Structure 1
Amino acid sequence: MKSATPAMVALDAASVRYVAHAFDHDVATSSDVGYGKAAAAALGVAEERVFKTLLARADRDFVVAIVPVNTTVSLKALASALGVKRCEMARPEDAQRVTGYVVGGISPFGQKKLLATVIDDSCAAFDTIYVSGGRRGLDLEVAPNDLVTVLR
């Protein structure tokens, strides 16, 4: 496997156990179905167990939403959870600049700055979930409780 990503470094620093899963990233498939769904298919994992990390803007601040790849984020629900009037999705170039990761490889861990984060409750239904490892073609399998702990 290639060198550790900032996400892996962050988890190591927090003494969090994880399993790194590398897979072949197919640009054509990702473009058709989305990066997260392509990752789930490549890993042979149910889509509801693979979570995508999305960047949104809440008023003037950037925030993170972590949701299963087979769903879309409800911007109304996100705004409500954050106690703001409205949220909108960040532009891809802003997502890359703010997180330090390329779109399709944005990890919730090891971002340039710890942002307010809202995590879909459905993650609690699983012993482990998959999130991006910080580059396309790499997912990290972590316990949902560890996800919450590290991002607080």
Structure 2
Amino acid sequence: MTPAVRLLKSNKVPFELHQYKHDPSHNSFGVEAVEATGKPPQQVFKTLLFSLEGKSEGLGVAVIPVMKKLSLKRAAKANGLKKALMADPMLAQKVTGYLVGGISPLAQKKRLPIFIDASAQQLSSMCVSGGKRGLEIELAPSALLVQAQGKFVELTDD
């Protein structure tokens, strides 16, 4: 059981787990999750870390639909930065405690600001990484907001 799943269980948050066998040859963790769960792409979200110059300063977490591209300009603004770059994958693993491709916005090792794309507010449920490759957690966007202590923000350019 991952820290993300433990958090939800201990807080008695309703959720559903979707497990599948991760294919290491798949070129996109997000697309693989959509294909494996059978959920619509706008309902499956990926977790991305960004920061000032890609280093440890100004780290933030963006949770966006898997088929969308993160607007680094919007992410920077949300986190009070002048400019943002994607964080180094090794740094992302170190601060979250999760492997890339399985980074959950829930129960990260280090508390970081969490920004959830505003599009999630239109959904009755959404899927986010459960804390390991091949594990998705489906829950209400409002539950994710509370459990991650996040904030809904426009994070993509449509």
TM value normalised by structure 2 = 0.88
Q: Deviations over 1:66-119 (max 9, x none)?
A: 000001110001111222201110111111101000000000111102211111
Structure 2 residue 51 is the aligned partner of structure 1 residue 52: no
Counterpart AA for 2:18: H
Q: Deviations over 1:14-64 (max 9, x none)?
A: 2211111101211212x2xx1011111111111111000111114712110
Structure 2 residue 20 is the aligned partner of structure 1 residue 23: yes
Counterpart AA for 2:61: V
- Identify the match of residue 37 of structure 1 among 8, 31, 39: 31
1:135 match: 132
Unaligned 5+ runs, structure 1: none
**1:60-139 mapped onto 2 (5 Å cutoff):** 60-139=57-136
RMSD, aligned α-carbons:
1.1
Q: Percent of pairs identical after alignment?
A: 42
Equivalent pair of 1:40/1:46 in contact (CA under 8 Å) = yes
Number of equivalenced pairs: 146
The structure that is helix-richer by fraction is 1
Unaligned 5+ runs, structure 2: 150-158
Structure 2 residue 5 is the aligned partner of structure 1 residue 11: no
TM value normalised by structure 1 = 0.92
Counterpart AA for 1:56: F
